[in-house]
Structure 1
Amino acid sequence: MLKPQATATREIVNLDGLWRFDIAREERPTPWTGVLDSTLEAAVPASYNDQFVSAEIRDHVGWAWYQRMVRVPRGWHGDRIVLRLDSATHEGAVYVDGTLVASHVGGYLPFEADITDHVTAGGQFQLTVGVNNELTNETIPPGTISVDMKGRRKQTYLHDFYNYAGLARSVWLYSVPTVRATAVEVVTGIDGTTGVVDYAIQVEGAGDVRVRVLDQQGVEVAAGVGASGRVEVTDARLWNPGAAYLYTLQVEVLVGDEVVDVYPQTFGIRTIEVRGAEFLINGTPFYFTGFGKHEDTAIRGKGHDDAYLVHDFQLLEWIGANSFRTSHYPYAEEVMDFADRHGIVVIDETAAVGLNLGVSAGLTGEPNKPTFSPETCNDATQAAHAQHIRELVARDRNHPSVVMWCIANEPASNEDGAREYFEPLVNLTKALDPTRPVCYAAVMFAQPDNDKIADLFDVLCLNRYYGWYVGVGDLELAEMYLEGEMRQWAAKYGKPMLMAEYGADTMPGLHSVWDMPWSEEYQRDYLDMHHRVFDRIPEFVGEQIWNFADFQTTNGIHRVDGNKKGVFTRDRKPKAAAHTLRARWAGLEGRKPGA
């Protein structure tokens, strides 16, 4: 599935804007068969939850409906007409004039439908999209639905961020030729000063393929013939962290001598390698500085917003960060494209967060259930997880900014069944993309002596909260705990180690001369303590703080209007720790402090 682009042979119409909207109601079980009888309107792209002041809508569990009229450009006669949704959280169903044309499970990845046989060029049609936010033990991420004493359906889930739902990313209508490229894969290497570019093109219909490699000025620097092959770029400019350079693979599909389809695929020439305890980009050791992030802003929820995209990347540059993890789901493609263009390194994560019932038991005091069992995370869960990995790799494999796949966040890797669940998924990921390392983010319950899957992965990514959830308020003791455990991991595995999460909730404006949790000084000192430990352990290749900015969570007494571990507030104001980090990261440019 190629990202829609306007080219000499393809046209595109953006369907963002205000759509008629309502949640599913018993008196209207099939709203797609006619006009949706509602006075509500919802913005697309945006989660629907916070757009309204209705608790019924915000807390709704089940289907919600979007509807609008769409006119097909009259010049599209003879082309194939495709409808694409960049995401529908967590399940989508698409109807054209009452006919189901597409359905998809998985809330953060795109899906589409060829609707040529259902519409007419120059005509219009009624587009209805159903979005279902339900999570079960067989979805990624998982959850549980219950019914309370008043008959209300309640959704519980194991991830610590709000379960925003809706059409949070764009909707597109686009045209393509009958004979066309349908998939493009680019893999790069380096031979001295020459860039080696292997490509593979899939074509619908009987057509020949030729490719041209263009530099950023549009000058042709290499060319090839055939649906797959290798071309070489002499004196290649490499894609480097902080110094991005992008080439374009211009794909042309021909019938005879006529070019019937053109599709440009940007790419960067660079290599990724794990060697011993080093993480190498273009053969040079790289040290990650940055954050776990969230797609989260006020009112929009997880709705993509270009203004926030620009501002967030400006803040990353200001603070000296060179990377982020797409915690805990794939981000919008616009984010990945922006990272490509601006040289920000990305750890690309699946939506597999919450595969750990021990966390739930710890928070609620309920009896601990095994995470991996026929009644909990089972074969169907694993199959959904595998499909999510396939779709993620297919969507993002050409992004030079993506340097590693993270296939889960804080799973129960210390429990029985973990290896049987994860080993096939690791093998699948490596088969789909042998060029990138694979990791998972390990929860605190998983220690060097009980983790059952760490040897399967290329990089040890650890989420640790010594000084917050363990040893809170005593940073001297926390430093001893942290260094002791980190040295055990290093001694046992000898692999690159990345602290994928560490942080302390902080209320902006709260100050203290003591080590008082929630104060701005405590967050600053907490981070400084971690950095001292990282700098003493040679195997450490990076630090990504939890979190870039405060974000919304579900209601709970352990969260007051969301998670406050952000270095920036939810509206992107810096806390004191941001200035401390800026001083630490200034001038590192991917090098470990002291290296």
Structure 2
Amino acid sequence: MKKAFLFFIVLVLFTGEELLGQVNLIQNVSARKTLSLDGVWDSQVDIVGVGSLGRFGLVQDRKPTKFVYNGDNPRNTELVEQDMDVAEKINVPGDWNTQKEKLFLYEGNLWYRKKFSIAPQPNKRYFIYFGAVNYEATVYLNGVRIGQHKGGFTPFQFEITKELKNGENKLLVNANNTRGDDNIPTKIADWWNYGGITRSVSLVEVSETYISDYFIQLDKGKLSEIKGWVRVSGSQKSQAVNVEIPELGLKQSVQTDTSGYAELNLSSKKIQHWSPENPKMYEVILSSANDNVKDKIGFRTIETRGTEILLNGKPIFLKGAAIHEEAPFRTGRCYSEADARTLLTWAKELGSNYVRLAHYPHNEAMTRMADEMGLLVWSEVPIYWNVKFEKPEVYASAEKQLLENISRDKNRASVILWSVANETNESEPRLAFLKKLLEKTKAVDPTRLTTAALLAKEGKSEFSLEDPLGEFVDVMGCNEYIGWYTLPAELAPTIKWTSKYNKPLIMSEFGAEAIAGLHGSPDEIWTEEYQNRIFENQVKMLNNIPFLRGTSVWALMDFRSPLRLLPIKQDFFNRKGLVSDAGIKKMAFFTLKNWYQTK
């Protein structure tokens, strides 16, 4: 009875039905017919939220108005207090903090407007797709309220077929990055709260009935069995969908049910498995009577066996770096392929085969570039520090962001780890919250591993992993800063590491701050020599941890943080990067690179 029940559970989990019932994102937007709305937008700062107060002629919900929702000023005919036609300009994508000096420290509302022209076609549907808006976005089209989204790092979309006009259209977005105790993340975070429309915006055109989503990956532990599902949306949900992988000579026709869903199963012993050494990807074509979608997908398996991590059935040691979504050279929020390539190229130069994308979902260019460059990925949602674990609405926000993240990146071979938390204090509410989130993760994607960045129980000569959450993750992460926040650096090689769990460990953070170009004695804090001394002792300790299966240094590059106040030394930057924000590699970069060459 138990075996039959477990088989039923696995079958249900792999269908993805649970995910699709909660997140409705078009998969692989870049492969669709799109009109980019990136570029110069009109903008207006709204410090007190006038546009949300129902004053000065404002109306709410889906009623049209001439005031904020169109941003028009019918000059000299009535009293209005905003005029987007003469407003300041701002670039999208991009954060407002680094575009305008006066907004560097600003947190609050900012209105965006974009005019665009289109001739809507019959029997087509249209969506506005946002890569991300930090943190809360309220969207209007032609004076009609289209919808609202919360969460600063995940994509969302709204259908606008009925509101779209032939000719000029006016899209208005209110972005609000005000921090809150009940948000995910909360008020306190060690990275900059970049506000605005930080990722690309697209107008997406699809057929009235279209292939909306799909999940195509190797079955867990099976190197020649491709499994997954496809989803059709529209009025004719039940229809034939062809799935092809031409290079492998594979083709299957599946019939979707009345809900638009069908499972697929393809098999080939000729599959070249995706890996850091050979990041092989195959063109996958999905077609129906009135739709055709192409993607590039790599096929690999990822599992654990005791304290081992197995990629394609073989043990692997993850050598990597943690990366914030901080733009190299110019700072500000990353959003482009060029930004992604620069950061990931530095990671490759370090000798990495893996990166931790901290502490929130990064833009899609990062995960697609990781696919291309052969870098394994730890992907994370911003459940960070003092989360209100006892509140159901906070859990709902966390789960929604998790599902949006998985929905976007579930076909990326590079992504092997879904992380549900970073440095959260032990408590019963926290354990229940994160355990439930881990169960949800496995329910929607059983092919990948789960993890969280934990804290060890620290002693003078022994560090032990006893966090109750360790029982429920596949891979333990641990952040430690011996030599910087705890214990002298020279004690690191003497520390004995123990674990309550027979599971692999990734040292998800370790490091120290240094100012690029500042040199002096190894005992002089802030110098490159001081940082390097800590790393020299760290690698001696890491070599002695028998269940260690990966490391991600903190961090690849210096990044902005509101917590780092020390003038001259920090100036709102966390300086723990191995590379400065100007692209200068510090001494510790080469120390770690040399160690990675031995692993």
| TM-score grouping bracket, smaller chain normalisation | 0.7 to 0.9
Output aligned runs, 1:314-393, within 5 Å: 314-355=345-386, 372-373=389-390, 378-393=391-406
Residues of 1 paired with 2:120 and 2:537: CA distance?
A: 63
Matched position secondary structure for 1:228: strand
Contact 2:248 2:271 in 1 (8 A): no
Aligned counterpart for 1:488 among listed residues 473, 485, 498: 498
Contact 2:450 2:475 in 1 (8 A): yes
Contact 2:71 2:113 in 1 (8 A): no
Output aligned runs, 1:417-566, within 5 Å: 417-443=429-455, 448=464, 451-471=467-487, 474-480=488-494, 483-484=495-496, 487-489=497-499, 492-554=500-562, 556-558=564-566, 559-566=570-577
Residues of 2 paired with 1:407 and 1:39: CA distance?
A: 41
Contact 1:296 1:552 in 2 (8 A): yes
Aligned counterpart for 1:266 among listed residues 286, 290, 296: 296
Contact 1:238 1:269 in 2 (8 A): yes
Contact 1:271 1:282 in 2 (8 A): yes
Contact 1:327 1:349 in 2 (8 A): yes
Equivalent residue, structure 2, for 1:153? none
Contact 2:37 2:200 in 1 (8 A): yes
Could you say if the C-alpha distance between residues 546 and 71 of structure 1 is closer, same or farther in structure 2, counting changes exceeding 3 Å?
same
**CA displacement at 1:534 relative to structure 2:** 1.6
1:16 maps to amino acid: D
Residues of 2 paired with 1:501 and 1:191: CA distance?
A: 29
Aligned counterpart for 1:70 among listed residues 116, 127, 138: 116
Matched position secondary structure for 1:22: strand
Output aligned runs, 1:175-194, within 5 Å: 175-189=205-219
Contact 1:466 1:479 in 2 (8 A): no
Matched position secondary structure for 1:23: strand
Equivalent residue, structure 2, for 1:43? 91
Pair 1:574-2:585 in alignment? yes
- Could you report, residue by residue, the CA deviation over 1:300-349 in whole angstroms, capped at 9, with x for unpaired residues? 61141322222222222222111111100001111111111221100110
1:535 maps to amino acid: N
**CA displacement at 1:261 relative to structure 2:** 0.4
Pair 1:166-2:196 in alignment? yes
**CA displacement at 1:25 relative to structure 2:** 4.4
1:513 maps to amino acid: S
Equivalent residue, structure 1, for 2:171? 127
- Could you report, residue by residue, the CA deviation over 1:550-569 in whole angstroms, capped at 9, with x for unpaired residues? 00011653543310000000
**CA displacement at 1:39 relative to structure 2:** 3.2
Matched position secondary structure for 2:35: strand
Residues of 2 paired with 1:283 and 1:513: CA distance?
A: 46
Residues of 2 paired with 1:309 and 1:556: CA distance?
A: 25
Contact 2:41 2:113 in 1 (8 A): yes
Matched position secondary structure for 1:439: strand
**CA displacement at 1:52 relative to structure 2:** 0.8
Matched position secondary structure for 1:514: coil
Pair 1:203-2:232 in alignment? yes
Could you say if the C-alpha distance between residues 582 and 26 of structure 1 is closer, same or farther in structure 2, counting changes exceeding 3 Å?
closer
Residues of 1 paired with 2:331 and 2:549: CA distance?
A: 35
Residues of 2 paired with 1:88 and 1:264: CA distance?
A: 27
Equivalent residue, structure 2, for 1:14? 36
Q: Please, what TM-score do these two structures have when normalized by structure 2?
A: 0.84
- Could you report, residue by residue, the CA deviation over 1:366-387 in whole angstroms, capped at 9, with x for unpaired residues? xxxxx645xxxx2221121112
**CA displacement at 1:438 relative to structure 2:** 0.9
Could you say if the C-alpha distance between residues 449 and 263 of structure 1 is closer, same or farther in structure 2, counting changes exceeding 3 Å?
closer
Pair 1:212-2:243 in alignment? yes
Shifted more, 286-295 versus 16-25: the winner is 16-25
Pair 1:34-2:71 in alignment? yes
Could you say if the C-alpha distance between residues 314 and 264 of structure 1 is closer, same or farther in structure 2, counting changes exceeding 3 Å?
same
Equivalent residue, structure 2, for 1:232? 267
Gaps of 5+ in 2: 1-24, 52-57, 59-67, 73-82, 256-261
